Amino acid sequence: MIGRIGRLSRPTGCFESATDGIATLFGGTDTSHGNISKAGSGGLLSRLNSGSAVSIFLLFTIDTYSAFKNPMSSIARFTQRCTFVSVFIFCACARTTSTAVSAGAVRPVVSDTAAIRNMVSRLDLERYKATIKGLTQFGDRRQGTDRNRAAVDWIEQQLKSYGCTNTERITYDYQPPPPRAGAPAATGNRIPTSAPGGARLRGNLMPTGVNTDSLAQPDLKLRALNSQAAVPGARQEVYCTKIGTTHPDEMYIVGGHMDGHGWGEAANDDGSGAALVMELARVFSSPDVQTDRSIRFILWNNEETGLNGSRAYVAQRQALQGKEAPAGSGKYPEPRWLGMIQHDMMLFDHGMPRPDRTMSKDQRPEADVNIEFQSNSKMADASQELAWQVANANEKFATDYPATVGQHMTNTDSAPFQDIVPSISLRENERGAQIGAGWDPQWHQPSDVYSTYNDQDFRLGLNAAQTTLAAVAQLTGATLRK
């Protein structure tokens, strides 16, 4: 996790107090404890060009010298200079603010608190559990199988039943890559030696890997359901869209992947994230809910093979952003992307493995929703801002578990978006440092079945749903019709 860098609820470069102004002018932005920090992004002076900075320096140098000659006239001149510099900084601030809003794409938070609380209350633990259970009827939903295709059909039917009737599909071709020459053969679970995404492994570690042994699944019925092998060829993934009333040409993407593997039911990875997205689609599709901006709810396929479904979406749809079709129709098949919020493994936060490699059977009391952005991405600053807006929504609207923010987003469907648009992922634990260290023993294993989890686990996923729903409602200007 990383510490919070200031408060990102106002556009960069504008001051709410004299302390904020001084901090922003001379290099810091964190004044939350009355300190002028140097940990900010360089301050306003760093944004002025060298000629402007030299001009300001010379003006004050001349005034200081003149003060010895004629003190009274220098007071008037100094006042004029301060006025000039204030106007100059105000203009730079306005320019910086305008740039931040247009380039960052994370829109100011709009809060109809009563409406958002009403919408959050429509999320229900039993409904969330039932949606996960519905997904598990298709086993692990491995890509390239009949059970995967049946799951895509079922998801589309569910979305339509919620009122999100404008469903569409992305179709793409998936051909497994040939085995790498010299690559070691799969040998089952192994102790991890490094963490992806720039994270660092710490503490007790558990073996991780992907189960490929059908006999490791003791449930004979589930073993038979998962027996069909994947074949190369066409793949599909389904989405539906809540159309914005005033800005239909702009949208946030809310995603989770519906495929899995490991010979279980993929209940947590990623039935928990897919069900969350579906439940948000249900609430936002209510007849009395309207949003200023659009929201796309998408259930990715082929995540487990290397994010192929989300990569196909970016390849096919990125160039279509914001284009009205047909011209003059007011319809935008691919609204301009404002942000991407991914959900992947939402249920299990039982803490670090014990030294003997056993795990607690209960959700830890300090369990939290992990929100991650990628600090090495081209959109790192805007992604961090989006992460904190989602975390703030958790603080205000989630019922049980808090949220924390980290900078090592990795290995999920937000990655193909991270250099294009503000992108974050929500998880049960940090992907690199914790899940990658074996903190979830069900990960890609036969034990990832619905019956493994209890209501404490499911409630963590529900709190993630509350968090994203509230944040997206704020970002899209959601209101309730009277």
Give me the mean pLDDT over the 108-128 stretch: 91
pLDDT at position 104: 56
Q: Determine the distance from the C-alpha atom of residue 212 to the mean position of all C-alpha atoms in its chain, rounded to a whole number.
A: 30
Residues 85 and 47: their CA atoms lie apart, in Å, by: 14
> Which value, to the nearest 10 degrees, does the dihedral of the CA atoms of residues 387, 388, 392, 398 take?
30
Strand partners, 247: 293
Q: How many residues does the chain have?
A: 482
Q: Is residue 176 pLDDT above 80, yes or no?
A: yes
Confidence at residue 181, expressed as pLDDT on a 0 to 100 scale: 76
Contact at 8 Å (CB) between 278 and 155? Answer: yes
Q: Is the pLDDT of residue 212 over 90?
A: yes
Helix, strand, coil fractions of the chain, as percent rounded to 5: 40, 15, 45
Q: Report the pLDDT value the prediction gives residue 188, as an integer from 0 to 100.
A: 74
The token duo for 290 is 């309207």
Each residue of 278-306: pLDDT tens digit? Answer: 999 999 999 999 999 999 999 999 999 99
Tell me the C-alpha to C-alpha distance, in Å, between residue 80 and each of 30, 61, 77, 83: 30, 14, 5, 5
Establish whether the linkage from the previous residue to 362 is cis, with ω within 30° of 0: no
Q: CB–CB of 335/321 below 8 Å?
A: yes
Q: Which pLDDT tens digit goes with each residue over 66-99?
A: 544 554 554 455 445 544 444 444 444 444 443 3
Residues of the chain with CATH 3.40.630.10: 113-480
Structure tokens at 218: 């003791």
| The CATH classification of domain 113-480, taken from the options 3.90.1300.10, 3.10.129.10, 3.20.20.150, 3.40.630.10 | 3.40.630.10
Distance CA 155, CA 237 (A): 10
Spatial distance between the Cα atoms of 78 and 336, rounded to a whole number of angstroms: 48
Its pTM stands at 0.80
Q: How far apart are CA 273 and CA 301, in angstroms?
A: 13
Confidence bin at 412 (pLDDT 50/70/90): very high
Q: What whole-number distance in Å separates Cα of residue 229 and Cα of residue 224?
A: 11
